[in-house]
Amino acid sequence: MNFVALFTCGILQFCLIHCQVVIASEKVMDQEYGNAQIYDLLELLGTKIKEQEKKLRLLTENDSHQTDLINKLMKKNRDLEQSVNENIKEINYTLKTACRSLAAVSEKVLTTVPTSDTRNTTVSNIPLKKTMRIPKSDKERQNREKAEAEKLDRTSRNFSRSNADPIIVSDSPVAFYAYLSANEKVPGPHHILTFDYAKTNIGGAYNHFNGMFTAPTDGIYAFSWSIYCTYRSWAFTEIVVNSDAVGSSLADSIGANADDTSTGFVILELTHSDVVYIRTNPDVATTYDIVSEGRFRTSFSGWKLYLTILLKGPCYNILRSFKLVQHM
């Protein structure tokens, strides 16, 4: 009996040990299978990383190419801007030279044509074209001179005026009018007034963002500015060209129970790109608000004056034929 029991126990222990061995073998196999999957995943990740590194290199090369392209475009833009500026300067110089030549020709014609009725203009007093081709014979030259004189004489008779008429030399119009859209709250000294509402801005020379007018061409300009201040206060303003004050105005209601206004007016000779603006006095502070509302507008305006000359007879017709002058 004891032997059977011992034998049975031995068999059971053997079975138990076998089962443990089998389980351990399965675990080892599972672990090896899991390690194989991990190795596959790592290999796949390595491949993906290499692909991403390749894409990154391509992007870096493209970015470098784009940067070089942008630099080239910026250089071309600078070269183009420089070329345009040079062309503008050359055109301005050519126009000024042409205007001076035209003025010289006009003066010569005025001194040549008699001051009496243009209907009495004689052929000998009318200058012939200097660009006329030299004739091959005296007879041809005489015929050409006669034909040219008759043509100018007819033009003179068609424009028979005994008195000189004012003629305005053509030019691009420049004019603006702007005002403050709201009160300027106690501006301090040396404060530039920005007239932000541009009612009129012919020629586009006034900038309503900074309150400055930039002269588009050389010439004579007129400017006016009106300042309103509240009662028992003052506002001392001045008009400035570039950095130089060229005029001033004082609105003073100290001691009065009413608002006050002051208007300044100047005529200035400006050159191209001169800047004109209104500011408060650098040394005197404004005591209260500058008013601009309803019926009271603090404003700034300016316009270019046209050059007026006196012309008549053939000189007028010659210039008008080239559209260089217009009636007043």
pLDDT tens figures, 78-125: 888 888 888 788 787 777 777 777 776 666 655 554 444 444 444 444
For position 91, what pLDDT does the model report?
A: 81
Task: Provide the mean pLDDT of the chain.
Answer: 75
Interval 1-23 mean pLDDT: 68
- Looking up tokens 């400006």, which residue turns up? 270
Dump pLDDT digits (tens) for 238-280.
999 999 999 998 887 777 776 778 899 999 999 999 999 999 8
Residue 311: the pLDDT is: 52
DSSP secondary structure string for all residues of 169-185? EP----EEEEE-SS-B-
**CB atoms inside a 10 Å sphere around CB 326:** 13
As given in the structure block, the two tokens for residue 193 are 């007034």
Nearest to 128 by CA among 114, 109, 156: 109
> What is the Cα 243 distance to its own chain's centre?
21
pLDDT of 135 > 70? The answer is no
- Per the listing, tokens 């999957």 go with 37
Say if residues 185 and 269 touch (Cβ distance below 8 Å): no
Higher pLDDT, 284 or 266: 266
**Average pLDDT score over residue span 118-142:** 50
Closest C-alpha to 172, from 219, 127, 125: 219
Choose between 65 and 215: higher pLDDT.
215
> Would you tell me how many other CB atoms lie within 10 Å of the CB of residue 26?
10
pLDDT at residue 186 tops 60: yes
DSSP 265-309: EEEEEE-TT-EEEEEE-SSS---SPEE-BTTB--EEEEEEEPPEE
Q: Supply the pLDDT for residue 109.
A: 57
Ranking 245-249, 307-311, 315-319 by mean pLDDT, the lowest is 307-311
Helix (H, G, I), strand (E, B) or coil at 223: strand
Tokens of 117: 């009725």
